[in-house]
Amino acid sequence: MERRKFLTLAASSAVATIVAPHLASAQPPLFEAQTVQGTVMATRGPISGAMLPLNGPAVDGIRYRPRFRFGMGGTQIGNIFAPISDAQARATLQAAWDGGVRYFDTSPFYGHGLSEHRLGAFLRDKPRDAFLVSTKVGRIFHPSRQPLAPTLWAEKLNFSYEYAYTAEGARRSVEDSLQRLGLASIDIVYIHDLGPENTELPQPWTRAYEIARTGAMVELERMRDEGLIKAWGFGINRPDAAVKAATDDAPTPDIVLLACQYSIIDHEEALKNTLPALAAKGITVTVGTPLNDGFLGGRNRYHFSDKLPAGVVEKRARLAAVADRHGIDIRTAALQFAAAPSVVSAIVPGARIPGQVEANIQSMKVGIPKAFWDELRAEQVILPDAPVPV
């Protein structure tokens, strides 16, 4: 089921976690707590750090690297799959802030503006130099006089959109985001959903790319020079546009958000092709969906689809069995694995409830033994040359 056609599930099923019996038995107890919406996998393993990881000083040849290596994605506070209240969204953001999270990723597309509104309201009283925000361009939103049809955004704001990868569209989108966020500048702007998987585009993706190459990409460079933004790139579910921009005569992105492309159980294509192509141009990477859209938290949903690719359930079970033998949980292993490559600047897992973001933060502080990674290689869960934490 293609992402943009994935209809909103009823709240009772959208938030229910279905755990395969072999997964639960391979790593007991899999979940620590059940909440009103969402579940929390118990964190296992020795805590070896007190702070979330940060990036070091600027390095020659690297176009842009944010300070913070761990952030929070904003799809859930945009009501993806099931609605949450303003109070729950704020409580989740507060838990992230209290735990040291200072990088927040959002998009006008998330809840048709809702995610940006909620994030902006939360950040209103925070010092501007204390946090980093990334958002996206590619769609322009307009108030709709008619109720919008159901989509993957439950109880979204009643704004329809049109695609706009032009210079004017990018400028308008950034200015609209500044209004929704209540900010005077944005740290990172990603060109959103420009790729072959987006069947909703009104023209072939290659045509949309050409529009962006002489439009949005040039305008984002101009906004960076003006100081309105600090960096720009692509926020995409397939690497095609980012790799194309890194290898042709287009303006060179500073940083790219790769969603659904690099995880502990799915990383071969990115490791062999995408990451080297970006690194060669000094482009760093933010990893989105490092838990495969909750699949590595036990859900039977993978990359915004209820159709599971062949072999992923079995691979998750093998990962869980190895993790259990070494006394850690698979979420912790997955998050630290996604952050390990040198080209990766940050990871931005999402969270629906405070307990989820608190658990994600805790996972980044667990010390994972080298023997665990050695066994994953031996079991062919990860590639022999896949970077791992040290």
Per-10-residue mean pLDDT of the chain, 390 residues long, equals 38 32 36 52 92 93 98 97 96 98 98 98 98 98 94 95 98 98 98 97 98 98 98 98 96 97 97 98 97 85 84 94 97 98 98 96 97 97 97
Q: How is the beta sheet containing 229-236 ordered, strand by strand?
A: 71-73, 103-105, 132-137, 186-192, 229-236, 255-259, 284-288, 344-347
Q: How far apart are CA 348 and CA 339, in angstroms?
A: 10
Which parts of the chain are beta strand (E)? 31-34, 39-41, 71-73, 103-105, 132-137, 139-143, 159-163, 186-192, 229-236, 255-259, 284-288, 344-347
**What does the pLDDT read at residue 372?**
98
Q: Per the structure block, which two tokens stand in for 230?
A: 């600090």
Q: How far apart are CA 88 and CA 264, in angstroms?
A: 30
Q: How far apart are CA 348 and CA 234, in angstroms?
A: 15
Token pair 């010092």 in the structure block, residue? 127
**What does the pLDDT read at residue 4?**
43
**What does the pLDDT read at residue 37?**
52
Which of 110, 163, 165, 262 does the annotation list as catalytic? Answer: 110
Q: Regarding beta strands 159-163 and 139-143, do their DSSP bridges make them parallel or antiparallel, or are they unpaired?
A: antiparallel
Task: Give the pTM.
Answer: 0.91
Strand partners, 231: 188
Confirm if 113 and 141 have CB atoms less than 8 A apart: yes
Q: 3.90.199.10, 3.60.15.10, 3.20.20.100, 3.90.1150.10: which CATH number matches 71-379? A: 3.20.20.100
**What does the pLDDT read at residue 12?**
31
**What does the pLDDT read at residue 31?**
33
| Active-site residue, 103 included | no
Confirm if 40 and 356 have CB atoms less than 8 A apart: yes
**What does the pLDDT read at residue 50?**
85
CA angle at 225 for the pair 224 and 228, rounded to the nearest 5°: 50
